[in-house]
Amino acid sequence: MQVYLDNNATTKVDEKVFEEMKPFFCEVYGNPNSLHSFGSSTHKKMLEALDYLYEGINAADEDDIIITANATEANNWVIKSVWLDKILDGEKNHIVTSEVEHPAITAACNFLEKKGVEVTYLNVNEEGILDAEAVKKAIREDTALVSIMWANNETGKIFPVKEIGAVCREKGVLFHSDATQAIGKVEVDVQDANVDMISFSAHKFHGPKGVGGLYIKKGVELSPYMHGGEQMDGRRAGTVDVASMIGMGKAMHLATNTMAIAYEKNHVGMLRDKLENAILKIPDTIVIGGRENRTPNTTLISIKGVEGESMLWDLNQNGIAASTGSACASEDLEANPVMNAFGSDSELAHTGIRFSLSRFNNEEQIDYAIEHIKKAVERLRNISSSYAYTPKSHESGL
Ligand SMILES: Cc1ncc(COP(=O)(O)O)c(CN[C@@H](CS)C(=O)O)c1O
């Protein structure tokens, strides 16, 4: 049996999305910016896709949604164009973010630090989140941008975006939120959340890889990251990947309409809880950050005495796909940076396993995964030189 439990890394394209995309490779293949009918025949479906995107995040008609290659591009665009617009050409020289952001934010900020920009990386608490008060205290006169994610890709923890947005509004500071792991899992309402910009990627909500977006609230000026043609009203040059844009719109529609969200919470949340409850019955296991206030599909679990990579290998031998944390950091065998951020010691930070489900998982798959997780833990602990179960040890915390 093949059981895919790594949906925060990427998801399967929904068949309905694929069907929507198909005509735009070999039949309706014109360049949308061409004046002839081969080009204009793409417009109807592209406009429908934009409508789905605006509807999915409750963007106002006068706001912009710019199609990018992915969330990484959108995140880099925000960080580097704020640097251009407000730091190089302005009086600001400070950015506030968190220490558990995706590398697309932290690496871009590290790059700016080498250019002399000051960056505050806010700590998270033992629940893996930070509060709006901490953001308020970090904002300075010369703060150009606050960028705090909507939901964490490893723990699923949801950040108080609305409260942070209110603080940024009060202080007159631009607020960006990386919503990549929120869309399709929890409600994302950009007007309610007082947010100026959000990033997203289609392949996190059953759309194609290689397409994403940046929502920009009306009135927010942001220099283009890509110059060239007049696509996206000159805000992002380059011929749009028509099929992928249409696929992303359809995926957003499927993922965010009322039924889908309710289904995600009831179905996926129930499956995630069943998996989590079973693993927590094993001694010396703990959910990193606790079980509250998370996206319904994600769990990051520490299994003491079991190296994350060894566990992944064992599960993979049985057709089960999971991860030790974000895919982009999985190559290096460093301790999980998010677990480090929680203050877990290095040994424990190597024991995290992330399971991230989707609406395409079912109970049979979860039962199969539980069976093999238990066997893998027993096998790996038996050969572990560092783990010895003692009755009190299962009360140990992080
Ligand atoms: C919060 C967040 N922000 C940005 C990205 C980047 O998405 P791209 O489509 O690759 O550009 C991701 C992708 N996180 C995957 C791959 S590293 C994970 O395994 O956690 C993300 O989770």
Question: If you measure from the C-alpha of residue 102 to the centroid of ligand 1, how many angstroms do you get, rounded to a whole number?
Answer: 7
Residue finishing a domain among 199, 233, 256: 256
Query: Is the same domain home to 357 and 325?
Result: yes
Q: Which of 146, 149, 166, 169 is nearest to 157 (CA)?
A: 149
Q: How many domains are there within the chain?
A: 2
Strands 64-68 and 212-216: antiparallel
Query: Is the same domain home to 129 and 166?
Result: yes
The pLDDT of residue 375 is above 80: yes
Does 389 fall in a domain?
A: no
Question: Residue 314 corresponds to which amino acid?
Answer: D
When pLDDT is cut at 50, 70 and 90, the band that residue 398 belongs to is: very low
Q: Which of 169, 173, 267, 207 is nearest to 56 (CA)?
A: 207
Q: Is the CB of 328 under 6 A from ligand 1?
A: yes
How many other C-beta atoms are found inside a 10 Å radius of the C-beta of residue 113? 11
Token pair belonging to 29: 């293949």
Between CA 87 and CA 74 the distance in angstroms is: 19
Give 52-63 pLDDT, tens digit per residue: 999 999 999 999
Percent of the chain residues topping a pLDDT of 90:
84
Question: If you measure from the C-alpha of residue 107 to the centroid of ligand 1, how many angstroms do you get, rounded to a whole number?
Answer: 13
When pLDDT is cut at 50, 70 and 90, the band that residue 350 belongs to is: confident
Between CA 78 and CA 343 the distance in angstroms is: 29
Q: Which residues contact 298 (CB under 8 A, 6 or more apart)?
A: 8, 154, 155, 156, 181, 272, 354, 355, 356, 357
Q: For the packed helices 363-382 and 308-317, what is the interaxial angle rounded to 10 degrees?
A: 130
The pLDDT of residue 331 is above 60: no
What per-residue confidence (pLDDT) applies to 266? 80
The pLDDT of residue 348 is above 90: no
Question: Residue 334 corresponds to which amino acid?
Answer: E
**pTM reported for the whole predicted model:** 0.94
Query: Is the same domain home to 164 and 304?
Result: no
Residues 125/289, Cβ–Cβ less than 8 Å = no
Question: If you measure from the C-alpha of residue 365 to the centroid of ligand 1, how many angstroms do you get, rounded to a whole number?
Answer: 25
- The mean pLDDT value of the chain amounts to 92
Work out the end-to-end distance of the chain between its first and last CA atoms, rounded to an integer number of angstroms.
Answer: 33
Query: Is the same domain home to 270 and 252?
Result: no
Query: Is the same domain home to 268 and 206?
Result: no
Give 104-145 pLDDT, tens digit per residue: 999 999 999 999 999 999 999 989 999 999 999 999 999 999
Q: Dihedral sign, CA of 248, 249, 254, 255? A: positive
Residues 2/319, Cβ–Cβ less than 8 Å = yes
CATH no. for residue 367? 3.90.1150.10
Does 398 fall in a domain?
A: no
Which residue shows structure tokens 């396993």? 353
Q: Is pLDDT larger for residue 98 or for residue 388?
A: 98
How many other C-beta atoms are found inside a 10 Å radius of the C-beta of residue 26? 7
Does 387 fall in a domain?
A: no
What per-residue confidence (pLDDT) applies to 136? 98
Q: Which domain holds residue 244?
A: 15-256
Question: Which stretches of 223-357 are DSSP H helices?
Answer: 242-256, 258-263, 269-280, 308-317, 337-341, 346-349
Residues 239/31, Cβ–Cβ less than 8 Å = yes
Q: Is pLDDT larger for residue 339 or for residue 95?
A: 95
Query: Is the same domain home to 87 and 101?
Result: yes
Does 268 fall in a domain?
A: yes
What per-residue confidence (pLDDT) applies to 327? 64
Percent of the chain residues topping a pLDDT of 70:
90
301: β partners: 287, 353
Atom of ligand 1 nearest to the CA of 152: 1
Between CA 277 and CA 242 the distance in angstroms is: 43
In the residue annotation, 109 being an active-site residue is answered as no
Atom of ligand 1 nearest to the CA of 328: 17
Q: Is the CB of 180 under 6 A from ligand 1?
A: yes
Query: Is the same domain home to 44 and 137?
Result: yes
Nearest CA to ligand 1 atom 13: 9
Q: What is the mean pLDDT of residues 82-86?
A: 97
Does 118 fall in a domain?
A: yes
Query: Is the same domain home to 58 and 98?
Result: yes
Between CA 211 and CA 73 the distance in angstroms is: 10
Q: Is the CB of 178 under 6 A from ligand 1?
A: yes
Query: Is the same domain home to 220 and 199?
Result: yes
When pLDDT is cut at 50, 70 and 90, the band that residue 90 belongs to is: confident
Helices first, then strands: H and E counts in the chain: 15, 12
Question: If you measure from the C-alpha of residue 324 to the centroid of ligand 1, how many angstroms do you get, rounded to a whole number?
Answer: 14
Between CA 119 and CA 36 the distance in angstroms is: 49
Q: What is the ipTM of this complex?
A: 0.99
Query: Is the same domain home to 251 and 289?
Result: no
Give 250-290 pLDDT, tens digit per residue: 999 999 886 666 676 688 999 999 999 999 999 999 999 99
Q: Is the CB of 9 under 6 A from ligand 1?
A: yes
Q: Given 26, 109, 168, 328, which residue is catalytic?
A: 328
Query: Is the same domain home to 19 and 104?
Result: yes
